[in-house]
Amino acid sequence: MAPSDNHHSSTSNATPRIGFFDLPPEVPNVIYHLALHKKSPVELVRSKKTSSSKKPSVKERHPMEGVDLFNLTEKSKAQLYKALDLRFQVRLLLTCKQIHHEATPILYGGNCFRFNVTAKDMSTFVDTIGTSRQRLRHIIVTSFLSNKAERQKAMSRLKYATNLQKLEILYYDESVETQVQTLRVLMQALHKSRAAVGRTESVVEILSFVSWASATAVLLEEDAQTTRDVKKELQKLLK
């Protein structure tokens, strides 16, 4: 056989190359979970250059402010993922539109998000991620360095998180009445959206409260009582 024939034979018998999207769907899903799912909460932290005691300047404003997740530039992508304290391979989302589409539900729906920020920062985050906020399932709010009106506004922005399953609030000496007022708009909105799709479970069951000083059995019981009291008052508003 002539050399040219040998070359043709080896080429025709070569194994076809398989791309990432040629793999069975369960394989990319495993990769997405391994890359994007964290056992510990994903923390949203305030920019170190921004002081909570003054209005951020253009250069100092929160790194996610003005970022449009669905029309991302390379700069805004970097801003978003820097603001999220993501210690995992989040750049996977930036590979291409298809991977972004397939992996985004795992990022937002498969992780717990903890907010160590002001109410304004929390509102900015929820607005920034657009329709992905519908995928949020578990949120921890650890501090609100803001006034009551800002806190209520921030919590009301979570009304778009229609699949929220758990909302933990780390509080400091706020009364039951204050907590109810802060959560009223959110609970009423989630109650309405759930009723619209035939869900009958009480939305207040997603709530739990933990004080800053929960270190003893007595304090833990106080937290449990606060949770029960707030749920009871909110439930009255939903009837």
pLDDT tens figures, 76-118: 555 555 555 454 566 777 788 888 889 899 889 999 998 877 8
d(CA 191, CA 106): 25
d(CA 89, CA 35): 5
d(CA 122, CA 110): 19
d(CA 78, CA 164): 27
Domain membership of residue 6 (yes or no) is: no
Buried b (16+ CB within 10 A) or exposed e, 188-221: bbbbebbeeeeeeeebbebbbbbbeebeeeeeee
Q: What is the pLDDT of residue 79?
A: 58
Higher confidence at residue 90 or residue 136? 136
Q: What is the pLDDT of residue 55?
A: 40
Domain membership of residue 2 (yes or no) is: no
Give mean pLDDT, residues 204-233. Answer: 84
Q: What is the pLDDT of residue 40?
A: 83
Give mean pLDDT, residues 218-227. Answer: 84
d(CA 100, CA 32): 10
101: containing domain = 23-47+59-238
Q: What is the pLDDT of residue 47?
A: 52
d(CA 183, CA 181): 5
Residue 3: which pLDDT band, with cuts at 50, 70 and 90?
low
Domain membership of residue 4 (yes or no) is: no
Q: What share of the chain in percent tops pLDDT 70? A: 71
pLDDT digits (tens, 9 = 90+) for 30-87: 888 888 888 888 887 665 544 444 443 333 333 444 444 445 556 655 555 555 545 4
Q: What share of the chain in percent tops pLDDT 90? A: 27
Domain membership of residue 131 (yes or no) is: yes
Q: Where are the alpha helices (H) located in the chain, listed in sequence order?
A: 3-12, 26-36, 74-83, 97-109, 119-128, 148-156, 176-196, 217-238
Q: What is the pLDDT of residue 52?
A: 44
Domain membership of residue 79 (yes or no) is: yes
Residue 229: which pLDDT band, with cuts at 50, 70 and 90?
very high
Q: Can you read off the two tokens belonging to residue 206? A: 């997603």
pLDDT at 132 over 80: yes
d(CA 166, CA 204): 10
Domain membership of residue 105 (yes or no) is: yes
Domain membership of residue 201 (yes or no) is: yes
Residues sharing a CB contact under 8 Å with residue 185, sequence separation 6 or more, in sequence order: 152, 155, 156, 159
Strand 166-171 versus strand 138-141 pairing type: parallel
Number of folded domains that form the chain: 1
Domain membership of residue 17 (yes or no) is: no
Q: What is the pLDDT of residue 61?
A: 37
